[in-house]
Amino acid sequence: MQKLEVLGANKLKGQVKISGSKNASLPILAATLLSKKKIILKNLPKVKDIQTMITLLKSLGSKVRFNINQTIIDNTQQKKKFASYNLVKTMRAGILVLGPLLAKYRSAKVSLPGGCAIGSRPVDIHLKALSKLGVKYKINQGYVIANAPYGLKGNKINFSKISVGATENLIIAACLAKGTTILSNCAIEPEIKDLTNFLNKMGCRIKWVSKRTIRIIGVSEINEISYSVMFDRIEAGTYCVAAGVTGGNLTIKNVIPEIIKTEINVLKKIGLKIKIRKNEVQVIGNKKIRNMKIKTAPYPGFPTDLQAQIMVLLCKANKSSIIQEDIFENRFMHVAELNRMGAKILTIGNKAIIEGNINFASAELMATDLRASVSLVLAALTAKGKSVINRIYHLDRGYENIEKKLKKLGAKIKRVNNE
């Protein structure tokens, strides 16, 4: 097992190129199962979750080849319908193969997913919606065993709760369903828009008819295509916060500023100086950080995946701040570790009260989930002395070459093997 050693108190300066989006790549990879032809994907991030999803596709019979800067997926021989626990246990997105397998083969057996321990994130919303397309299912020994003996049939589905995963699963499944499917109360994250763009290029017939309503007309033919995945807005936001936390000056490249305007506006209110250009943003830190009250919310609200990172910045604010976590019920596990570094954060239910004017102290730390792990890196970058972050396999699930990117920006950070 590996860990990170961080020598803090250095300002980050320079340029950083943002990788492809993990959260867009995962449903797009699952959606390739609809095809019996060759699909070329570009800009996939080199992170553990993507490797796991590709291994899952291979286990289902997909042939996957890597060329320079692109991944070629060939499903001409793909016939298997079983997604095992061993492959799905580390990644929530494994459940996304259920929709395309049912659409293509009318049956599937998929393990209930694993991933970060940040809340229940149940799949019942997925299953209830799929049942309206004609799917019958049962859960047995940790597996969803599902079939649609007469194939999937279009229907009107109103999600009881906004769910990114359920929206993605149903969009993919409905593409091969007979007739028309109307999905309402959909999640509208940019990664979902990227998925629908990808599917439409494949020959699917998907149209956003209002802000949270999608109409999908089922098709029988899928095109052979090449597609480049969008940038990772959470990685972009993380580096924006890194500039603020260290009082640095970073130019964050390969982004679409319009997509992260909520995050940019929050960081401006906190006191960071941000210059917006065509495909990049420049973020300049400020000694005077202002306090704020932030609520996480579905897009276009402030993303839950940036909650841990912004908390580190608010520890530097002039007064106390409040973060209200309205997406996941167990997403303050980083608080205990930040408090060990000198932070003064009190959690009451889904609220964290963050006292300001904190100087972090170096410490040995334990990562608990993907975004919590990067918040510890951010705190360690500002702390005098050496911090050690254990269990960084969480970090590797979603951040490509993070220590190499940070080193280029002036951080003193290295990856070492546990003795």
All domains in the chain, ordered by first residue: 2-18+290-417 (3.65.10.10), 22-228 (3.65.10.10)
User: 196 is written with which tokens?
Assistant: 């629908």
Q: Which residues contact 17 (CB under 8 A, 6 or more apart)?
A: 253, 254
Type of residue found at 372:
A
The β-bridge relationship of strands 38-42 and 225-228 is parallel
Q: Tell me which residues are annotated as active site.
A: 116
| H or E segment to which residue 156 belongs | strand 156-158
Contact between 244 and 283 under an 8 Å Cβ cutoff? The reply is: yes
Q: In DSSP terms, which residues pair with 388 in a beta bridge? A: 5, 364
Per residue of the chain (419 residues), what is the pLDDT tens digit?
A: 899 999 999 999 999 999 999 999 999 999 999 999 999 999 999 999 999 999 999 999 999 999 888 999 999 999 999 999 988 887 888 999 999 999 999 999 999 886 444 344 578 999 999 999 999 999 988 899 999 999 999 999 999 999 999 999 999 999 999 999 999 999 999 999 999 999 999 999 999 999 999 999 999 999 999 999 999 999 999 999 999 999 999 999 999 999 999 999 999 999 999 999 999 999 999 999 999 999 999 999 999 999 999 999 999 999 999 999 999 877 899 999 999 999 999 999 999 999 999 999 999 999 988 888 999 999 999 999 999 999 999 999 999 999 999 999 999 999 999 76
Q: Give per-residue burial for 228-243: e unless 16+ CB within 10 Å, then b.
A: ebbbbbbbbbbbbbbb
- pTM equals 0.95
| Alpha carbon separation from 20 to 66, 78, 404 (Å, rounded) | 16, 26, 16
